[in-house]
Structure 1
Amino acid sequence: MSSETFNLDKEQLIQREFVQMESKLPKATYSSRQKLALTCRILFDNGHDSGLAGQITARGETSGTFLTQRLGFGFDEITAGNLLLVDEDLQVLEGEGMPNPANRFHSWVYRARPDVRCIIHTHALHAAALSMLETPLLVSHMDNCVLYDDVAFLPQWPGVPVGNEEGELIAAALGNKRALLLAHHGLLVACSSIEEACLIALAFERTARMQLLASAAGEIQPIDPALGKEAHDWILHGQRSASTFAYYARRSLRSGGDCLS
């Protein structure tokens, strides 16, 4: 048996695996429109549907534009072909119909965060239930560490988020984090890629569900901060995220392959 790795420390092993991920893990070749449509289907399949509530956007090729779903369509009805391209004022540049007026706060987040390429806002059941308690999201399990020290909390509900005041408030509350829990409302995720945003939104809802389950049984105990940060960076590796997204895409495509059209 080879023992070439048995004298390496943990950080060396982590970096070694990152290199392997780049060369060994499969890469999907979806367009931005297809990724966004797939994200809508993946989130629908994993409990993020709430009628017509929620918005998913991704920056367009032209500055100050973004893709989003058409108001009146549920996440399970979105396809690459019925997405809209809109400007910061929510004026439709490509497509038919209108965007959700609540997309206005997305414009504020994009302005505040040039690093953000995709924003997801949903009223997923467990995240929405947790938001009613006016308590922050707690990350205290290995699987949820993708969110470790990366979730902000907005304790006040500004009402229907269609005004500029709400956009300023939400963008400020998010700060430099990837995620935000909005009291009496739902979750927000803002990431550097569509794939990353999709996976963090899935993790957010699972974390909220686990928090509600664990807190019903006892007091949730914190994890070691250094280990939480280590796990956060491990899970968030770009190629790992891309491969995990591809897995969820394959699952959704088996039941709803028309979303790529």
Structure 2
Amino acid sequence: MTDEELREIVCRLHTELVRNDLVAWTAGNVSGRLPGGDRFAIKPSGVSYDDLTPESIVVCDLDGNRVEGELSPSSDTAAHAYVYRHMPDVNGVVHTHSTYASAWAARGEPIPCVLTAMADEFGGEIPVGPFALIGGEDIGRGVVDTLKGHRSTAVLMRNHGVFTVGDSPKAAVKAAVMCEDVARTVHVSRQLGEPLPIAQADVDSLYDRYQNVYGQRSAR
């Protein structure tokens, strides 16, 4: 895959954030890198989703320096770069302020694993990361430190929003979509009463089945 093809993919995936109501105005971003690569493509700062083109997507090195593109990269570029440097198996990062998941982040509360869909996708609760200011590496450090020891590919950064990771940009986008979906469902459940927990052994079994059995394996 070339840089041009990667920019095309990253550009196209931003439409999924809009289609799934995960972003408002120009907030949020998707980035992606080639497996094992030393550069990544990311949304330009403050550009409307309607105006994104593959040419407008910015390519940066793993220190967050722009190496291709005419526009300034996202204000979250340093955070994405930190994740890529410290999580070598990650090739996609997504950030959103999706409503329900961000509401949990505003409370500083993990989303408990009370749905089989959560066990499937995240292998447990969706954890909360520390408060960190935008623009530097602190957010990326919080994402990396929080996800250590977790099977979750999503983290709720306190008072901020959602960061997700994946082995591809598409996988990271999927995690962002699923994070908002379960955040909404668990919130609604709590309006009716206390959600029922799932036993850890069952969480483990569900996660293993979904990750290793579910779907068309030959197509992956």
TM-score between the two structures when normalised by the length of structure 2: 0.84
The aligned counterpart of 2:196 is 221
**2:83 is the alignment partner of 1:83:** no
The aligned counterpart of 1:9 is none
CA distance in structure 1 between the aligned counterparts of 2:66 and 2:27, rounded to whole angstroms:
19
The structure with the largest alpha-carbon Rg is 1
- The aligned amino acid for 1:112 is H
Q: With a CA cutoff of 8 Å and minimum separation of 6, indicate the structure with the bigger relative contact order.
A: 1
- Shift of the 227–34 alpha-carbon distance from structure 1 to 2, 3 Å rule, reads farther
CA distance in structure 2 between the aligned counterparts of 1:78 and 1:176, rounded to whole angstroms:
36
- Shift of the 179–163 alpha-carbon distance from structure 1 to 2, 3 Å rule, reads same
Q: Structure 1 unaligned runs (5+)?
A: 1-30, 244-261
CA distance in structure 2 between the aligned counterparts of 1:58 and 1:114, rounded to whole angstroms:
12
The aligned counterpart of 1:57 is 31
**2:161 is the alignment partner of 1:189:** no
The aligned counterpart of 2:135 is 162
Moved more, 90-99 or 115-124: 90-99
CA distance in structure 2 between the aligned counterparts of 1:190 and 1:144, rounded to whole angstroms:
15
The aligned counterpart of 1:8 is none
The aligned counterpart of 1:24 is none
The aligned counterpart of 2:145 is 172
Shift in Å at residue 41 of structure 1? 0.6
Preserved contact between residue 43 and residue 57 of structure 2 (Cα < 8 Å): yes
**2:105 is the alignment partner of 1:152:** no
After TM superposition, the runs of 4+ consecutive aligned structure 1 residues lying more than 6 A away are none
| Cα-to-partner distance string for 1:16-59 (whole Å, 9 max, x where unaligned) | xxxxxxxxxxxxxxx43333223211121111112222221111
The aligned counterpart of 1:95 is 69
CA distance in structure 2 between the aligned counterparts of 1:188 and 1:120, rounded to whole angstroms:
6
Q: Structure 2 unaligned runs (5+)?
A: none
Q: How many pairs were matched up?
A: 213
CA distance in structure 1 between the aligned counterparts of 2:107 and 2:216, rounded to whole angstroms:
31
CA distance in structure 2 between the aligned counterparts of 1:128 and 1:241, rounded to whole angstroms:
33
**Secondary structure in 1 matching 2:54:** coil
- The aligned amino acid for 1:173 is T
CA distance in structure 2 between the aligned counterparts of 1:219 and 1:82, rounded to whole angstroms:
46
Alignment of structure 1 residues 28-67 onto 2, 5 Å: 31-60=5-34, 63-67=37-41
- Shift of the 44–241 alpha-carbon distance from structure 1 to 2, 3 Å rule, reads farther
- Shift of the 161–222 alpha-carbon distance from structure 1 to 2, 3 Å rule, reads same
| Cα-to-partner distance string for 1:57-113 (whole Å, 9 max, x where unaligned) | 111478431100111223444333321111133322222211012211111111111
Match 2:96 to one of 119, 122, 128: 122
CA distance in structure 2 between the aligned counterparts of 1:241 and 1:104, rounded to whole angstroms:
36
CA distance in structure 2 between the aligned counterparts of 1:111 and 1:101, rounded to whole angstroms:
17
**Secondary structure in 2 matching 1:101:** coil
Preserved contact between residue 199 and residue 241 of structure 1 (Cα < 8 Å): no
- Shift of the 179–61 alpha-carbon distance from structure 1 to 2, 3 Å rule, reads closer
Identity within the alignment, %: 23
The aligned counterpart of 2:177 is 202
CA RMSD of the aligned region, Å?
A: 2.8
CA distance in structure 2 between the aligned counterparts of 1:72 and 1:198, rounded to whole angstroms:
20
**Secondary structure in 2 matching 1:132:** helix
- The aligned amino acid for 1:141 is L
The aligned counterpart of 1:255 is none
CA distance in structure 2 between the aligned counterparts of 1:76 and 1:139, rounded to whole angstroms:
35
CA distance in structure 2 between the aligned counterparts of 1:33 and 1:241, rounded to whole angstroms:
27
- Shift of the 93–43 alpha-carbon distance from structure 1 to 2, 3 Å rule, reads same
**Secondary structure in 1 matching 2:94:** strand
